[in-house]
């Protein structure tokens, strides 16, 4: 049986999401724009989901919109804030460690400006431009877990701030300082196919894509009402339990960080050791191919991710680790699920030295 240590990519459905989704399937199928009874039912569910999401995140209900994916929420949030500055010829500024969804949108819109980070992955505040079409600063990094100083970054610029919160939404409280933000339900245990777009009241945001005749002008297309309601229910549950869960996860990740550094030679544990997401750790192993390491750990029953080395899909190293100036070879990202305990974490740490040793031996090291 495999132990899944890749919850940063996607979490299993939270029990609250499962229960709510099944209950909502019968009531939430209709078009919430219509006026008949079934449509009013769907509209009520959608409004309830918006209220619950706003309450869980500490924002206004009219600041919450639901998109088809987290990536769509990123694109709409970022480009919607940038429209005025792009018209005036200003660049989209972003930290060098933003998710590829941000980088692709910035390149699509014009000439982006990358803001450097330090070796922990934290943005260098003094290098933030005073003006830009928009400044993209993630709440926490999806690969190394480092939490960004979003509010301090917003104080450095006159540009509106877009915050990609897909890696952290629900797990930690949202900081201040942003005008628009994005989240992704399957990252916290909601259904896949639900994104969260937050736009602050009074923000100068404009829909960057063709319009639609939906009630919410910030989105397009037919809402998946049952999935949205399940996403909201699971978000509320995650926020309620996160103090206990984060404390347990932080303790387990501290074990991994300490044992990997002590027991595996030529390894670098990366990211901020303190100001970080509690459930995630990344380390890089010299003289080891990341893809081979993932396959060998999977063969032994441990599911992990690798964001560096040459992979069959991209053939490029992790841009995050490169921007940090740390080792990119043999990278492993381990991220814990809700029910993770000490025994599987210790089993992983017990197996790791032999796995890495055997891979190095294959290349004569």
3-state secondary structure at position 235:
helix
For the chain, give the percent of residues with pLDDT over 70.
96
Q: 166, 285, 310, 349: which is the annotated catalytic residue?
A: 310
pLDDT band at 35 (very low <50, low <70, confident <90, very high): confident
Determine whether 285 is an active site residue: no
Q: 119-128, 232-241, 259-268, 310-319: which range is least confident on average?
A: 310-319
Please count the CA atoms within 13 angstroms of the CA of 206 that sit on its side-chain side.
9
Note the pLDDT of residue 311.
Answer: 42
Least confident of 83-87, 250-254, 311-315, 330-334: 311-315
**CB of 281 within 8 A of CB of 256?**
yes
User: The whole model's pTM is what?
Assistant: 0.94
Q: Which residue has the higher pLDDT, 215 or 3?
A: 3
- Whether the CA torsion 315, 321, 327, 332 is positive or negative: it is negative
Residue range 243-282, pLDDT digits in tens: 999 999 999 999 999 999 999 999 999 999 999 999 999 9
pLDDT of residue 315 exceeding 50, the answer is: no
Going by C-beta distance under 8 Å and a sequence separation of 6 or more, which residues neighbour residue 108? Answer: none
pLDDT band at residue 308 using 50, 70 and 90 as cut-offs: very low
CB atoms within 10 A of CB 155: 12
User: Which runs of consecutive H residues, i.e. helices, occur in 122-224?
Assistant: 150-155
Q: Give yes or no for a contact between 78 and 197, defined as CB atoms under 8 angstroms apart.
A: no
How many angstroms separate the CA atoms of 227 and 76, rounded?
20
The owner of tokens 């299993």 is: 12
Q: Which residue has the tokens 């190293």?
A: 317
pLDDT score at 215: 66
pLDDT at 317: 79
- pLDDT tens by residue, 202-252: 999 999 988 777 667 888 888 899 999 999 999 999 999 999 999 999 999
Answer yes or no: is pLDDT of 182 > 60.
Answer: yes
Q: What is the pLDDT of residues 60-91, one digit of tens each?
A: 999 999 999 999 999 999 999 999 999 999 99
Please give the pLDDT value at position 262: 96
Q: 226: Cβ–Cβ under 8 A, 6 or more apart, which residues?
A: 21, 24, 25, 28, 29, 45
Indicate whether 312 pLDDT > 50: no
Is pLDDT above 90 for 3?
no
Q: What is the pLDDT at residue 365? A: 67
In the chain, % of residues over pLDDT 90: 79
Mean pLDDT of the chain: 92
Question: 252 vs 328, which has greater pLDDT?
Answer: 252
pLDDT at residue number 1: 45
Comparison of pLDDT for 316 and 69, the residue scoring more? 69
Angstrom CA distances, 177 to 70, 103, 153, 155, stand at: 20, 21, 8, 8
Domains defined along the chain, listed by start = 3-9+242-362 (3.90.1150.10), 15-238 (3.40.640.10)
């Amino acid at each position: 049986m495999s132990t899944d240590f890749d919850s940063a990519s996607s979490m299993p459905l939270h029990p609250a999401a499962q229960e709510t989704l099944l209950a909502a399937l019968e009531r939430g199928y209709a078009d919430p724009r219509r006026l008949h009874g079934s449509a009013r039912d769907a509209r009520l569910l959608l409004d309830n989901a918006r209220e619950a999401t706003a309450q869980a995140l500490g924002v206004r209900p009219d600041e919450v919109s639901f998109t088809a994916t987290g990536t769509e929420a990123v694109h709409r949030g970022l480009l919607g804030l940038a429209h005025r500055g792009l018209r005036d010829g200003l660049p989209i500024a972003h930290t060098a460690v933003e998710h590829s969804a941000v980088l692709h949108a910035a390149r699509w819109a014009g000439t982006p400006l990358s803001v450097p980070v330090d070796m922990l992955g934290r943005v260098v505040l003094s290098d933030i431009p005073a003006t830009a079409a928009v400044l993209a600063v993630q709440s926490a990094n999806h690969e190394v877990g480092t939490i960004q100083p979003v509010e301090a970054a917003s104080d450095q610029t006159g540009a509106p701030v877009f915050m990609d919160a897909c890696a952290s939404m629900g797990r930690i409280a949202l900081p201040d300082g942003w005008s628009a933000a994005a989240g992704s339900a399957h990252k916290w245990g909601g259904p896949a196919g639900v994104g969260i777009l937050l736009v602050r009241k009074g923000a100068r945001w404009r829909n960057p894509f063709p319009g639609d005749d939906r009630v919410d002008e910030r989105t397009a297309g037919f809402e998946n009402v049952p999935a949205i309601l399940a996403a909201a229910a699971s978000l509320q549950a995650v926020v309620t339990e996160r103090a206990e869960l984060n404390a347990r996860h932080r303790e387990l990740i501290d074990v991994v960080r300490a044992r990997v550094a002590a027991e595996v030679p030529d390894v670098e544990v990366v990211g901020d050791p303190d100001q970080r997401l509690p459930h995630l750790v990344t380390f890089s192993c010299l003289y080891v191919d990341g893809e081979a390491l993932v396959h060998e750990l999977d063969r032994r029953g441990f599911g992990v991710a690798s964001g560096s080395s040459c992979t069959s899909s991209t053939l490029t190293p992790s841009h995050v680790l490169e921007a940090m100036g740390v080792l990119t070879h043999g990278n492993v990202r381990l991220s814990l699920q809700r029910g993770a305990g000490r025994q599987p974490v210790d089993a992983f740490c017990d197996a790791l030295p032999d796995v890495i040793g055997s891979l190095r031996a294959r290349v004569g090291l």
